[in-house]
Structure 1
Amino acid sequence: MTNYYNGRICLNVLAGSKENAKEVYQAAEKNALVGVLSINYPTTEAAVEDMKDYMEILEGNLSVGLGAGNPKQCLVVGDIAKDIKANHFNQVFTSVAYTRANVGNNESLINCLVSPTGKPGYVKISTGPLSSQAEEPAIVSIDTAAKMCKDMGGTSLKFFPMKGLSCKEELVEVAKACAKNDLIIEPTGGIDLENFKEICEICIAAGVNKMIPHVYSSIIDSETGNTRPEDVKTLMDIVKSLV
């Protein structure tokens, strides 16, 4: 497997097909984790079989996705990890340990989905299939969430849904907690070519060593469902200007 980092920033973009996966991986100069969503498959077995091809195409730099943070996919992603030893898994807070146990290594990155609360310094950790439906959400300090993530074998905090820069003050605190606890930060939701640089700059200023910004719908062609390679190249130019 190749390294999935070129310095401090690694892109996370979606692939609409295997050919598109090749295109965007090359457009990112292999500095990307390319997402394939588990929700797009009828069964776990079908996902595993298809993802074997993506693993080869991407040299292991596959990002196994839930599908818009869908908590109902958490066990599917965890089960995929039994057979697909991808370099990256997306996971809700409550299923990180399940995924780590199933992947059976310490090398794969497993993010831990936490959500904005409107209060800087605090995040919602009740992002699982049952807990996300609770009448009273579980809101804890970001430092506590970071430490719990590490306890469970997580490597990253995925801050979602950010809605671009609408929760900038909260992002600052999440980034600071990631820096303090030696975690990767994965800002996600509403990131586009216009706000990408500022979001990365916020994380850099907070002192994070590594970040994986997710740039999805804003760079996907609505007609084909494919990520536009030219937009990935634009993002890489921004990355190079920052690192």
Structure 2
Amino acid sequence: MNLKANFYRDKICLNVLSNSIGNAKEIFEAAEGHVLVGLLSKKYETVEEAVSDIRIYAEEIDNAISVGLGGGDPNQWRMVAEISKEVNPQHINQVFTGVGYTRGLIGQHDTIINGLVSPCGKAGFVKISTGPLSSSEESGVVPVKTAIQMLKDMGCSSIKYFPMEGLKNRGEYEEVCRACAELDFMLEPTGGIDLNNFEEIVKIALDAGVKKVIPHVYSSIVDKDTGDTRISDVKILLDMMKKLV
């Protein structure tokens, strides 16, 4: 089973949601394979139900699966880890405090695991208290470089910067990009990304020297009537990726 995400020219890989196996197959084809299809743990009642369903998706799209929390919900962290242990996806979304447990549980280092950190209102710093208990306490804010090194200590692959709200926190985002470039770490900008700001958000990261970027483009390209990710928008995003690299 393929555990390597397919980055366009080794730099950019999309992360988008799927509402069905048919939608996932269309997404994978439209993105020419340079995509991770997000399946949210929150939509399943049990780990067993999720594993059974996700295995079907994996067979259809060369395991280009991203197991998600669901809106960054910290209470889903353990379910994400347990699902991932069984399906070995190419990509896992995890809260900061759940990274080490998840890496140990899956027992291999090929799968990309991100660690969720959030803007905190101060450039050069991020909030790492994104776990089920820590998120209910006073914000734990540390220098972004420290956060990245802590994630590396836990076997993490990339930093998930969420919720960005597009470019609302541009100064903070730019510092995160610089730190990822300096420390050779992947970056996953997430939250409020759409067809209008996608190119700029990814370009900021690439211009800073980030080697691999996984932009998450979710609700902005989902058809509100069907729940499907719009294939026409995936094609537009792929064209932007090609332009950027």
TM-score range, shorter chain: over 0.9
Instruction: Spell out, residue by residue over 1:90-138, the C-alpha distance to the aligned partner (whole angstroms, 9 max, x if none).
Output: 000000011111111110000000000010000000000110000x111
Which residue is equivalent to 2:7? 5
Q: What is the total number of aligned residue pairs between the two structures?
A: 242
Deviation track 1:159-209 (CA, whole Å, cap 9, x = no partner) reads 000000101111111111111111110000000000000001110111000
Please name the residue that 2:227 is paired with.
225
5 Å matches for 1:71-220?
71-134=74-137, 136-220=138-222
Q: What letter matches 2:77 in structure 1?
A: C
Distance in 2 separating the partners of 1:183 and 1:33: 18
- Structure 1: state its 5+ residue gaps: none
Amino acid at match of 2:214: I
Measured in 1, the distance between the counterparts of 2:171 and 2:208 equals 12
SS in structure 1 at match of 2:36: strand
Q: Which residue of 1 aligns with 2:46?
A: 43
Secondary structure at 1:83 match in 2: helix
Indicate whether 1:24 and 2:27 are aligned: yes
Q: Deviations over 1:37-84 (max 9, x none)?
A: 000000011001111011111211100000010000000001112211
Measure the CA separation in 2 of the matches of 1:165 and 1:79: 34
Corresponding residue number in structure 2 for 1:69: 72
Equivalent position of 2:59 in the other structure: 56
Q: Distance in 1 between matches of 2:18 and 2:5?
A: 19
Over the aligned positions, Cα root-mean-square deviation in angstroms equals: 0.8
Instruction: Write the distance in 2 (CA, Å) between the matches of 1:70 and 1:180.
Output: 29
Per the normalisation by structure 1, the TM-score is 0.98
Using structure 2 for the length normalisation, give the TM-score: 0.97
Which amino acid is the alignment partner of residue 38 of structure 1?
Answer: S
The alignment partner of 1:199 has SS state of helix
Aligned to 2:19, the other structure's residue is in SS state coil
Instruction: Name stretches of at least 5 consecutive residues in structure 2 with no aligned partner.
Output: none
Q: Measure, in 1, the Cα distance between the counterparts of 2:104 and 2:244.
A: 35
Amino acid at match of 2:60: I
Offset of 1:3 from its aligned partner? Answer: 4.6
Contact 2:119–2:126 (8 Å) recurs in 1: yes
- How far apart, CA to CA, are the structure 1 residues paired with 2:105 and 2:81? 7
Mapped to 2, the partners of 1:72 and 1:198 lie a distance apart of 32
Structure 2 CA distance, aligned partners of 1:50 and 1:99? 20
